[in-house]
Amino acid sequence: MVQFITHYTDRYTYLDSVRIALEGGCRWIQLRMKEASTEEIIPIAKEAMAMCRKHGATFIIDDHVELVKLLGADGVHLGKNDMPISEARRILGKNFIIGGTANTFEDVRMHAEAGADYIGCGPFRFTTTKKNLSPVLGLEGYTDIVSKMKAEGINLPIVAIGGITKEDIPSLMKTGINGIALSGSILRAENPIEEMKEIITIIESWKN
Per residue in 177-198, pLDDT (tens digit) is 999 999 989 999 999 999 999 9
What pLDDT was estimated at residue 19? 98
Q: Tell me the residue ranges of DSSP E strands in the chain.
A: 2-5, 28-31, 58-62, 75-78, 97-102, 118-121, 158-160, 179-182
Per residue in 16-29, pLDDT (tens digit) is 999 999 999 999 99
What's the pTM? 0.95
For residues 180-208, one letter each, b for 16 or more C-beta atoms within 10 angstroms of the residue's C-beta and e for the rest, the string is bbbbbbbbebeebbebbebbbebbeeeee
What pLDDT was estimated at residue 20? 98
Task: Residue 157: give the domain boundaries.
Answer: 2-162+178-185
The domain tally of the chain equals 1
Residues facing residue 76 across a β-bridge? 61, 98
Q: Is residue 203 part of a domain?
A: no
Q: Is residue 103 part of a domain?
A: yes
What pLDDT was estimated at residue 206? 82
Per residue in 128-172, pLDDT (tens digit) is 655 666 789 999 999 999 999 999 999 999 999 999 999 999 999
Q: Is residue 118 part of a domain?
A: yes
What pLDDT was estimated at residue 133? 64
Q: Is residue 62 part of a domain?
A: yes
Q: Is residue 193 part of a domain?
A: no
CATH number of the domain that 19 lies in? 3.20.20.70
What pLDDT was estimated at residue 129? 59
Q: What is the Cα gyration radius of the chain?
A: 16
Does the pLDDT of residue 119 top 70, yes or no? yes
What pLDDT was estimated at residue 94? 94
What pLDDT was estimated at residue 35? 87
Q: Is residue 117 part of a domain?
A: yes
Give residue 101's identity as a one-letter amino acid code.
T
Per residue in 29-82, pLDDT (tens digit) is 999 998 899 999 999 999 999 999 999 999 999 999 999 999 999 999 999 889
Q: Is residue 208 part of a domain?
A: no
Question: Whole-angstrom Cα distance, residue 20 to residue 186?
Answer: 9
Q: Is residue 110 part of a domain?
A: yes
